[in-house]
Amino acid sequence: MRAVTMAAPGGPEVLETSEVEAPTRVNAEFLIKVIAAGVNPVDAKTRAGHGAWAGVTTTPVVLGNDFSGIVVEAPYESHPLQPGTEVYGMGMVPRMSGAYAEYLTVTALSVARKPPSLSHVEAAAVPLAALTAWGMVVETAKAHEGQRMLIHAGAGGVGHFAVQFASYFGAHVIATGSARNAAFLTELGAAEVVDYTAGPFEEAIDPVDVVIDLVGNAGGDTGSRSLAVLRPGALYVNGPTGSFPTMSAEAEALGVRATGFRVAPDAATLSIVTRLIESGDVRVFVDRVLPLEEAAEAHRLIESGHTRGKIVLAVADV
């Protein structure tokens, strides 16, 4: 099959289009024909030798967790998702085969029916970002009426879902973003938008109950500065791996709670997201669609940190 592979970590140029053996389905797994694959920051981190690279035991490796496609082989004869069913979901590279390829195998717990209203390209932009946002905003922060929630990088892949989930559950959402994304963030449900380029965000907002930080101290000490806007005992949730090594110590010193978050495949939660998409309460925004062969360019774009919504690779025609 055709796939984008890498033999060693490095810059985007290490990604190469190759012919490799298609994966073999075993146990309670699906074999999926990939139509589109989402691109996420963790892909770029892993490519650079960070992220999930520590789990790579053999090369070449195929990256990509998000996928939308068609079932080729189901786990068993009476499984509700039989061959020909349009599905979407996320894997866990390198434990599972990657989505930057014409076929992949994933466990049954990783796969849900594709939302009928979405194209495969749109659907591929949903799973990892939406599940991350749901885990941070709904499961960890327990978004609810009257809660003041600050969401950093609200226009990004995870961020634009986080803003919508928090707003849906009644939180007063304050989102940081550039001036060009202000109207977009308001449309998603943000009650306040803070232009982080206009001055320190902490000077522009009143104390909050929760911070959803999708930047961390990797950018302008955003994590440390975020702790200072929390009310005593309030909660800080950090997303990007390794972006705030001193988080726990700093939070304890200020009398606030802090935790990281790591997403896992969850078809049941993804099915809830599907219902919100189909009802029109949640939407997905795709910034750019590139052919599979331009995965390196997709990584350059994702590393720029200025994309709105998601970048998707078109792998095959339906």
Round to whole Å and give the CA distance between 138 and 195: 25
Mean pLDDT of 196-205: 94
Predicted confidence (pLDDT) per residue in 91-113, tens digit: 999 999 999 999 999 999 999 99
Q: What's residue 305's pLDDT? A: 82
Q: Return the pLDDT at 219.
A: 76
- pLDDT score of 283: 97
Q: Is 21 exposed, middle or buried (0-12, 13-18, 19+ CB in 10 A)?
A: exposed
Residue 141 is predicted with a pLDDT of: 98
pLDDT of residue 223: 97
Instruction: DSSP for 237-304, please give it.
Output: EE-STTS-TTHHHHHHHHT-EEEE------HHHHHHHHHHHHTTS----EEEEEEGGGHHHHHHHHHH
**Does pLDDT of 120 surpass 90?**
yes
Mean pLDDT of 8-32: 97
pLDDT in tens, 127-163: 999 999 999 999 999 999 999 999 999 999 999 999 9
| Spatial distance between the Cα atoms of 17 and 317, rounded to a whole number of angstroms | 18
Quick one: average pLDDT of 44-53?
95
pLDDT single digits (tens) 286-311: 999 999 999 999 999 999 888 899 99
The pLDDT assigned to 236 comes to 98
The reported pLDDT for the residue numbered 318 is: 76
**Topology (CATH level 3) of domain 2-126+284-314:** Quinone Oxidoreductase; Chain A, domain 1 (3.90.180)
Q: What pTM value is reported for the model?
A: 0.96
Q: In the predicted model, is pLDDT for residue 45 greater than 80?
A: yes
For the cut 90, the answer to whether the pLDDT of residue 241 exceeds it is no
Does residue 220 have a pLDDT over 90? no
- 34 pLDDT more than 90: yes
pLDDT at 218 over 90: no
Arithmetic mean of pLDDT over the chain: 96
pLDDT band of 90, cuts 50, 70, 90: very high
pLDDT(58) > 80: yes
Structure tokens at 185: 């963030």
Q: Please confirm whether the linkage preceding 60 is cis (ω < 30° from 0).
A: yes
Q: Determine how β-strand 66-73 pairs with β-strand 86-90.
A: antiparallel
DSSP class of 101: B
Domain 129-260 has CATH 3.40.225.10: no
Domain ranges of the chain: 2-126+284-314, 129-260
